[in-house]
Structure 1
Amino acid sequence: IAGVAVAVGIGGPGATFWMILAGLMGMASKFTECTLGVKYRNEYADGTVSGGPMYYITKGFAERGVPGGKILAVFFAVFCILGSLGGGNMFQANQAHQQIAGIVGDYPGWITGVIFAGVVFAVIIGGLKSIASVTEKVVPFMGILYVLAALVIILMNLDKVGWAFGQIFEGAFTGLGIAGGFVGALIQGFKRAAFSNEAGVGSAAIAHSAVRTKEPITEGVVSLLEPFIDTVVICTMTALVIIITQQLVIDPATGNYMVENGNIVTASGASGVGLTSAAFGSAFSWFPYVLAVAVILFAFSTMISWSYYGLKAWTYLFGEGKSKELVFKVMFCIFVVIGAAANLGPVIDFSDAAIFAMAVVNIIGLYVLMPVVKREMVSYMGRLKSGEIRKFKSR
């Protein structure tokens, strides 16, 4: 909701093209990292599981005789903790506060932060089962709600959809605008795609590692659907709503994009969720209220999910134990308050830096361990064709 607005606001409509392309390419990296996450996870006697890049980089590199795995894993864990506090926490709280304040009137962000922190703490203190029970109910509801709202606006402006896609393709390869030129569109598209679907970042592999399966490849196949649904479908719908309703134009004086009412669209100004809210509100005056519910639900589910990612990175560095886990959970909730009270510019810069650092380390690991994934896939497909897997399941 917010990330797409940042991409289109800074990179112009053309950023959408690169965002879609990054989503399609992200299907491959998501498949690879989630397969590795299940294969190299740690399973403990009490039934808990720890997995993700920290574990498959350490174990996989050692298995293949590649040095430096432990060092890379430590780097990833540090960056993952920072990413959980930034993109998975402060950015979410910040954008939720912006949307609420836009409806009820301006008020101190720390108030929103304290409320969110209290609710988030109550959920994450219950552990993974508590997180799963909440997100499995919240995510489908908010997804359907948001998609239906976007579909209504697109169908109402069906005659402009062709023009909007024309703007997307034209903007992807032209050099118009300082920030919205070819390079700006490409960078913003890829940054926001990675921010939304986390493909290649490694965070999703931490969650997928907790699945109940003995076949790593099956989880890889499930996971590759995520970038397609999240980025190719839902993020494209958001971009279309913004482009159709706001009609972004370039300010010849600055080269920045601005909407037709003259407000300059930048990462720290009329961007993020505010731009998306304006786009939805232009169709129906009450849509920002619907969007506020979606934003709150998205932000809440993202925060409690990222708290789990950060926690697993924390326990990898400092060891398992309830007291150690509690330290991270309290720190995580403090950053919820900080994010809600801060300005968007510094928050998104910090978030991008942390997530980029995670991706660099993780993708190095994915390239080194690609042969392992290929072996797993060949083995699984062979057993599937021979009927061995079906026979095993029927026993």
Structure 2
Amino acid sequence: MKNKYLSLLFLLTPFLIFAQELTIDEKIESKFKPFADAVSSVVFYPISIVGIDVPIVIIILLLGALFFTLYFKFANITLLGVAIKAAKGKYDDVDHHSVDVVAGDPTPGGDVFESVQAEGVIGEVTHFQALTAALSATVGLGNIAGVAVAIAIGGPGATIWMILAGFLGMSTKLVEATLGVKYREVGEEGKIYGGPMYYLRKGLKEKNLTVLGKILAGMYAVFVIGGSFGGGNMFQSNQAAAQFKLLFGLESGFIFGIIMAVLVGIVIIGGIKRIGQVTEKIVPIMGILFVGASLVILVMNFTIIPNAFIQIWKGAFTQTSVVGGVIGVMIVGFQRAAFSNEAGVGSASIAHAAVKTRFPASEGIVASIGPFVDTVIICTMTALVIVVTNLKSNLFEYSNLDKGGNVIMNSTGKHLGGVDLTSVAFDSAIPNFSILLTIAVILFAFSTMLSWSYYGIQGWKYLFGKSKFVDITYKTLFLFFVVVGASSSLGSVIEFSDAMIFAMVFPNIIGLLLLAPKVKVELSKYLKAIGRKDI
């Protein structure tokens, strides 16, 4: 183990010096911006609906989620209880023991002594660890920064549309995770390889669409690598460093980036098992920390809450709020790497594929909890706090933004956006909350980077093979970008990486729609096994 840490430090040494040159990044910005703008303009190409420009990718996400919700007869809601019980391990006995043939079992048969439990359950992590690993990528700066901007743009009513998006996203996540487990591959030493790359290639091959499957899988692998280096890495370390510098009055985030890279490296060297062990502890802590602070503020201002709900409900059906709900939440939240729920992007299915289970649908059902926790609960809490504190202190006027999309504060005239806006809102109710927020931001960023490193390396290995050299090459690059993100201001790189993340939607949704019938079959098998009525 010591040798691994020494190797990590040795690998970091040569490029840490180089990273210092990137602290002032105008040259990279100017050269990369035209390319980033071109990619972003393609991915986020808009069409006009009732005079409103809406990117096609957002429409695809929403229509896909609506289709899956109807196709699976609102399983996102009716099976929520099953999902919670499965995540807690109530159905593990059913999930791990069976006389049925199991995918990947070298000696399938009817003898119970040849069942999965006897030979070793396929998978690397528990249901709860897989869920927290996936949640650690989605529960992040979007909950703190993206929601604040969305509410500022669209008004209080945007909250309703955000909740709706969360419920619909639960259905998409169910489909993704089920397919991720169904078509996963088991490599050397029991390591699991899964996600859209595999279910696109193998699943579409079963439907005699071999060429299409290979093309879509390859595209997805490229996009997930780009997304992992940018939105899943540099954006996170940059925002964490920004909050850290703001709190302590520092000018450079370089040293912060080195420390963050070392901590991330220690965890990701251990693979998904280590990531799962860490995220199952961090995610509940940071969730309780943030939601707890939100509840304190709401309790302190309980007399204002009815007024806030009236604003939210009335505003949900006004022209301004509809724009804010759809564009503010979906575009601002998603495009700015503010992973509101990631449903439809497909990335979370990579983490869910590593679960210990023999029923693919068991993890699909558990995965549906993700958007509920991330969007319906945590994002809604953030929105409520902002609406309540704004009602009390009149911090800003909705839709009163500068050209850069920052909110103009009423009392000071300062232009704030993202994390800063949320910090001011919370600080107005709890003095010095920015200290707590800094801890939350760093934890959010850290956990997000852990999961996205796993997503990215799966795409990397899909393209370049599964050797140790390939593994260490990706991890070295990933740690390099942690430092670069913390010590740089790469606006165009972030724009590019967001585009890459949402580019993942196109090949993924095509596969999900084509493979939805197979998910329904798997869902029926699992519900029958646990004694539940079929959907």
Q: Which range is displaced more, 80-89 or 184-193?
A: 184-193
Q: Which range is displaced more, 166-175 or 93-102?
A: 166-175
Q: Which range is displaced more, 336-345 or 216-225?
A: 336-345
Q: Which range is displaced more, 214-223 or 114-123?
A: 114-123
Cα distance per residue 1:266-314 (max 9 Å; x no partner): xxxx111111111111112222111111111111111011100000010
Q: Which residue of 2 aligns with 1:120?
A: 264
Query: Which of 500, 516, 522 is the matching residue for 1:370?
Result: 516
Q: Which residue of 2 aligns with 1:5?
A: 148
Distance 2:492 2:303 in 1: 39
Query: Which of 254, 258, 266 is the matching residue for 2:408?
Result: 258
Q: Secondary structure at the match of 1:258?
A: strand
Q: Which range is displaced more, 363-372 or 353-362?
A: 353-362
1:261 deviation in Å?
2.6
Q: Which has the higher contact order (CA 8 A, sep 6+)?
A: 1
Q: Which residue of 1 aligns with 2:454?
A: 308
Q: Secondary structure at the match of 1:108?
A: coil
Provide the identity percentage: 54
**Is it true that 1:204 corresponds to 2:348 in the alignment?**
yes
Query: Which of 299, 322, 329 is the matching residue for 1:189?
Result: 329
Q: Which residue of 1 aligns with 2:198?
A: 55
Question: Which letter does structure 1 place at the counterpart of 2:439?
Answer: V
Q: Is the 8 A contact 2:400 2:408 kept in 1?
A: no
Distance 1:116 1:306 in 2: 15
Distance 1:344 1:168 in 2: 35
Q: Secondary structure at the match of 1:195?
A: coil
Distance 1:282 1:373 in 2: 48
1:225 deviation in Å?
0.8
Q: Secondary structure at the match of 1:385?
A: coil
Deviating runs (4+, > 6 A) in structure 1? 251-256
1:186-335 correspondence to structure 2 within 5 Å: 186-191=326-331, 192=333, 195-246=339-390, 247=394, 248-250=396-398, 257-261=407-411, 263=413, 270-335=416-481
1:254 deviation in Å?
6.3
Q: Is the 8 A contact 2:151 2:398 kept in 1?
A: no
C-alpha distance 376-106 of structure 1, shift in aligned 2 (>3 A): same
Distance 2:495 2:314 in 1: 28
1:251 deviation in Å?
6.5
Q: Which residue of 2 aligns with 1:142?
A: 286
Distance 1:190 1:253 in 2: 18
Q: Secondary structure at the match of 1:81?
A: helix
Question: Which letter does structure 2 place at the counterpart of 1:6?
Answer: V
Cα distance per residue 1:325-372 (max 9 Å; x no partner): 111111111211222234485465334312211122211111111011
Cα distance per residue 1:52-108 (max 9 Å; x no partner): 000001000001112401100111111111111122111211221121122111311
Unaligned runs of 5+ in 1: 388-395
Q: Which range is displaced more, 30-39 or 292-301?
A: 292-301
Q: Secondary structure at the match of 2:429?
A: coil
Distance 1:114 1:158 in 2: 43
1:48 deviation in Å?
0.4
Q: Secondary structure at the match of 2:288?
A: helix
Distance 2:401 2:235 in 1: 30
Q: Which range is displaced more, 253-262 or 331-340?
A: 253-262
Q: Which range is displaced more, 1-10 or 304-313?
A: 1-10
Q: Which residue of 1 aligns with 2:175?
A: 32
Distance 1:251 1:379 in 2: 49
Question: Which letter does structure 1 place at the counterpart of 2:173?
Answer: K
Q: Which range is displaced more, 100-109 or 212-221?
A: 100-109
CA RMSD of the aligned region, Å?
A: 2.3
Q: Is the 8 A contact 2:146 2:329 kept in 1?
A: no
C-alpha distance 6-348 of structure 1, shift in aligned 2 (>3 A): farther
C-alpha distance 101-317 of structure 1, shift in aligned 2 (>3 A): same
1:382 deviation in Å?
3.2
Cα distance per residue 1:121-144 (max 9 Å; x no partner): 122122222222221221111111
Distance 1:165 1:271 in 2: 24
Q: Which residue of 2 aligns with 1:85?
A: 229
Unaligned runs of 5+ in 2: 1-143
- Is the radius of gyration larger for structure 1 or structure 2? 2
Q: Secondary structure at the match of 1:332?
A: helix
Q: Which residue of 2 aligns with 1:162?
A: 306
C-alpha distance 316-101 of structure 1, shift in aligned 2 (>3 A): same
Provide the TM-score with structure 1 as the length reference. 0.89
C-alpha distance 203-253 of structure 1, shift in aligned 2 (>3 A): closer
C-alpha distance 254-103 of structure 1, shift in aligned 2 (>3 A): closer
1:166 deviation in Å?
3.1
Query: Which of 479, 502, 506 is the matching residue for 1:360?
Result: 506
